[in-house]
Chain A
Amino acid sequence: MIGKVLIANRGEIAVRIIRACREMGIETVAVYSEADRDALHTQLADEAVCIGPAPSSESYLNMQNIISATLVSGADAIHPGFGFLSENSKFAELCEQCNITFIGPKSQVIQSLGNKSEARNTMINAGVPVIPGSKDPIYDAETGAQAAAEIGYPVIVKAALGGGGKGMRVAETPEEFENSFNTAQKEAQMAFGDNTMYIEHFVQHPRHIEFQILADEHGNVIHLGERDCSIQRNHQKMIEESPSIALTPELREKMGEAAVKAAKAAHYTNAGTIEFLLEKNGNFYFMEMNTRIQVEHPVTEWVTGIDLVKEQIRIADGQSLSYKQEDVHITGHAIECRINAENPAKNFRPSPGTITDMYLPGGKGVRIDSAIYSGYTVPPYYDSMLAKLIVHAKNRSEAIKKMRSALGEVIIEGIDTNVDYQYEILNHPDFISGNIDIEFIENM
């Protein structure tokens, strides 16, 4: 049985994990960098071990030091949180080799799911829909047009060595194809010195819908419904909610089944998330699987009533899932806003510094997961997320109202935050009506 957990992370997720452990009667060991001496997780845990200087490469990413800290403190498990080493298969493997329970999937699974083409093939074989695309490299427009017809329009032509939008063109119709292909190929040749192209179905104005799954080591897999994470800036999620208003009960069931199938195909264990792109017409495509707890897990916790971190620990301990699929019921609506130390007026420039004063809201249906306190100095070395504000209400419109009210109470002095920006989104007519996709922020 797991009696002592080392949390290989910092910030609010470390605090979140310490709390779960404490409720379960498990002792906790925090690790901290020299810049995090006064951080909340360092002070809240039963024990704390310094693992290196401020830069994460020398502390929170320093596998050897974290393993040493585990052995020295006598912990028998490591919870990696999210980010840092959470999806590092090598770290998971090290834990396995050292007989330390890694609270997450097996290293082998992390590795295969981290390899994009391998993961894609696994999903194709399992019958999980992926974005249709050409199997072989394409060098000329004629072959390309044939492939595009099979894939289905609109299509996107991509350079094999592509990146940064170079050598990429969308063709809406067969008439446009030749021109798009040739332009993209010319660009690819110029930019990368290579004219190898691929063609994919172009998913227009999709939503980002992800399914939370739980899988134990005895072959049981369940899903806990979806999260709609379409409000993103530069691929960084800002607001997440559950359930998504874009999903009918039938679609939810279909996507949930696909998610469970995906997890089973990957021999997945512990908590994980299957990310899909959802088209307006109801087609959905597997993007990737996140092999860790996610930032936005509280919205799922609230609508299902399941404590995901506790489940993670139980699963890692070899216990069977406490729930069956039929026990999972979605109740009400939950929304999460990420509160970051950044200045939206200055292109979201991070704003580290000392919090001179603060007040955070509470009350019915309001949850705050944070690692800040009055007098705390936000170090410049890490992610700028300060807190997550999560609300829960009977339905979406009430949840939006509750979130607005709660955001209006958030006071953080001494540093810049994105609270006002979030408040604006909550008041945006398209957000209120639920007319959103992943380009929402760009078009706002």
Chain B
Amino acid sequence: MKLKDMFKKTSSRSHYISLTAGKPEVPAGLLRKCNKCGAAIIAEDVKNGYYICPKCRGYFRVHAYRRIEMLADEGSFEEWDKEMDFVNPLDFKGYEEKVARLKEHTNLNEAAVTGKVMINGNPAVIGVCDGRFMMASMGHIVGEKITRAVERATAEKLPVIIFTCSGGARMQEGIVSLMQMAKTSAALKRHSEAGQLYISVLTDPTTGGVTASFAMLGDIILAEPKALIGFAGPRVIEQTIGQKLPKGFQRSEFLLEHGFVDRIVEREEMKDVLSQILEIHSGKKTPDTEASSEEKAVERAVSSNLTAWERVQISRKKDRPVGTDYIGKLFTDFMEFHGDRYFKDDHAIAGGIAYFHGMPVTVIAQAKGKTTKENLDRNFSMPSPEGYRKALRLMKQAEKFGRPVICFVDTPGAFCGLEAEERGQGEAIARNLFELSGLKVPVLSVVIGEGGSGGALAIAVADEVWMLENSIYSVLSPEGFASILWKDSKRASEAAEVMKLTAQDLERLGIVEQVISEPAEFTEENLDVVCGDLDARIRAFLETYCAMDTMKLTEKRYERYRRM
């Protein structure tokens, strides 16, 4: 029933003229339109809400000084090189006038602002590009300001953070602009050689010469969600190849998936994430707040009675704790970093930085999943070359910053497939053995489940290797062994016995240093018991090995394998 047309309405008052002072209207600047979702939003909300659309959570671009305000402890920003003289290396017509207009319009001297800030009490040198100034294209002054800031940071032993945003090279400055890429990169190389930290934060849009120089050179590369990041612009690519580009191409998430970004960080969390990274690299040891857990002696499994094959099966059990469980239990403030910086982020390996009783460490785990879905995502913990390359990248990073490396081994083996071979699975494993043998920081590897052959060894060339009581470590799976030697994979249980793959066997053979007891039914429920024990052992390990000088450390590691 439509009542609408039946009700009598109020008689029209079209002759009525409002007597109130003014007609209702929206004052200028009160509302604005989101350029992403089109919704009308209250400007004040956007300003107070990190310049994020409250409707679609799209990110608006942020002016350089506002960006600094969002990060810096109040009043801590000290600007460097604020006034720089205009240069026009090509005597480009109209360039000076254009820059003069922009200076007046934006109250900026150029497209980058640099200086020193405190972020939650941690000092850092900061550089921020501002897209309002010729799309933050890099000319001589931008390159010079960034370079000077980096040089001064190196000299003052300060970390550098650069928020990138750029259309690329400054066309009006031609070849001089191109040279800024080399200049900034060279300064960052020296900064890195001096053992100093550089974090780049990619914001929308970061393209061209900036991407191909300082943006991609961070020890740690963060990105804001959905930022456009690329070398060639999407339009140029589309025109060149004559194809439509896929959705999400060249966005932060795409780069994360392809291994070029460590982490995507929401704007609200940026300050805390940056300060956490600065803190862990500051050399300050945070006080150890955790009480050391005195765990009772582990109620041992019916150990000696188990056959090797039974242990193989236990090591593969679905409810056995996985690498990420150990990370959660043994370490605090774990921050995962992604990607190999070449091709992809391999979820079969998880790694990042964390604290172990207040000491910064790098943690790497071969990560089985707990559900089928998770296992598909993590490829059942069978790493691809990019997984090993990510691990190596994080190990080299640990070496640069003097952090011990702790690895958790749990893999059926390196991923066996076409793509893995195409990208050099063998090379990736070999490279890790090669580099790990000489890594200048202590390395500990703990086999927590399956130690599948080369796939395991690639993160287990260590100062010590430990095994959980019911974990295994072998040159090949018992099934594979039986089928190669006896042409019958069904004889796996028999193979397990002769392969000497249990922790006890390997301890006898001198392949591993320590065997850690497990409860009879080992699941996440009683992980505390094992971690209490592991915690004490890792402490002892670090005490011994962190005290060793580098020469002795690497020599000892060399000897460890030389003997075998």
Contact = CB atoms under 8 A, between A and B. Distances in A.
Interface of A: 1, 3-4, 21-22, 25-28, 40, 42-44, 46, 63-65, 67-68, 70-71, 75-76, 94, 97-101, 373-375
B3 A25 contact: no
A1 B9 CA distance: 20
A42 to B, nearest CB: 8
Given A1-B19, A1-B20, A64 B40 contact: yes
Given A64-B40, A97-B27, A3 B22 contact: no
A101 B10 contact: no
- Enumerate the 9 nearest inter-chain pairs by beta-carbon distance, A residue then B residue, closest first: A43-B4, A64-B40, A100-B24, A43-B3, A46-B9, A3-B16, A99-B24, A99-B22, A27-B10
Contacts of A27: 10, 12-13
Contacts of B3: 40, 43-44, 373
Contacts of B83: none
B485 interface: no
Contacts of B11: 25
Contacts of A375: 1
A375 to B, nearest CB: 5
Interface string B29-61: 011000000011110000000000000000000
A43 B1 CA distance: 11
B543 interface: no
A321 B41 CA distance: 37
B2 interface: yes
Contacts of B4: 42-43
Interface of B: 1-4, 7, 9-13, 16, 18-27, 30-31, 39-42
Nearest to A46: B9
A133 to B, nearest CB: 33
Nearest to B14: A27
B25 A71 contact: yes
Contact of A98 (B9, B16, B24, B40): B24
B26 A25 contact: no
A99 B23 contact: yes
A25 B24 contact: no
Contacts of B42: 63-64, 94
Given A42-B4, A94-B30, 4 more contacts: A27-B12, A44-B3, A99-B20, A375-B1
A199 to B, nearest CB: 32
21 contacts: A1-B19, A1-B20, A4-B13, A22-B10, A25-B10, A25-B13, A46-B9, A63-B42, A64-B39, A65-B40, A68-B40, A76-B20, A97-B30, A98-B24, A98-B26, A98-B27, A99-B21, A100-B24, A373-B1, A373-B3, A375-B1
A187 B327 CA distance: 31
B27 A75 contact: no
B20 A98 contact: no
Contacts of B13: 3-4, 25, 27
Given A71-B24, A75-B24, A98-B25, A28 B19 contact: no
A63 B40 CA distance: 10
Contacts, number: 68
Nearest to B8: A22
B30 to A, nearest CB: 6
A99 B25 contact: yes
A4 B18 CA distance: 10
Contacts of A26: 10
A199 B9 CA distance: 57
Contacts of A63: 42
Contact of A76 (B1, B7, B18): B18
B243 to A, nearest CB: 36
Nearest to A40: B3
A28 B10 contact: yes
A397 B23 CA distance: 52
B38 to A, nearest CB: 12
Contacts of A97: 26-27, 30
Contacts of B26: 67, 71, 97-98
A356 to B, nearest CB: 13
A183 to B, nearest CB: 26
Nearest to A375: B1
Contacts of A70: 24
B31 A101 contact: no
A28 B533 CA distance: 74
Nearest to A374: B1
B45 to A, nearest CB: 9
A408 to B, nearest CB: 27
Contact of B41 (A1, A22, A64, A373): A64
A375 B27 CA distance: 44
A374 B1 CA distance: 9
Contacts of B22: 99
B44 to A, nearest CB: 9
Nearest to A318: B20
Contacts of A46: 9-10
Given A3-B13, A64-B39, A43 B25 contact: no
Contacts of A71: 24-26
A262 B260 CA distance: 62
Given A3-B16, A75-B24, A76-B18, A64 B7 contact: no
Given A64-B39, A64-B42, A76 B24 contact: yes
Given A3-B16, A64-B41, A76-B18, A43 B27 contact: no
A51 to B, nearest CB: 12
Nearest to B44: A90
A28 B9 CA distance: 9
A42 B4 CA distance: 8
A98 B18 contact: no
Nearest to A58: B55
B328 to A, nearest CB: 20
Nearest to A18: B10
Nearest to B17: A3
Nearest to A70: B24
A128 B13 CA distance: 46
B2 A43 contact: yes
B1 to A, nearest CB: 5
Most buried by A among B2, B16, B20, B30: B20
B30 A98 contact: yes
A43 B18 contact: no
B439 to A, nearest CB: 41
Contacts of B30: 94, 97-98
B276 to A, nearest CB: 21
A159 B7 CA distance: 56
A26 B3 CA distance: 21
B456 to A, nearest CB: 41
A78 B135 CA distance: 43
A25 B11 CA distance: 8
A28 B11 CA distance: 11
Contacts of B7: 43-44
B135 to A, nearest CB: 30
B216 to A, nearest CB: 40
Contacts of B27: 97-98
Nearest to B19: A1
Contacts of A75: 24
Nearest to A373: B3
A87 B41 CA distance: 20
Contacts of A40: 3
Most buried by B among A68, A71, A75, A98: A98
A375 B19 CA distance: 42
A150 B552 CA distance: 72
Contacts of A43: 2-4, 7
Most buried by B among A43, A65, A71: A43
B13 to A, nearest CB: 6
Contacts of A99: 20-25
Contacts of B24: 70-71, 75-76, 98-100
B461 to A, nearest CB: 43
B54 to A, nearest CB: 10
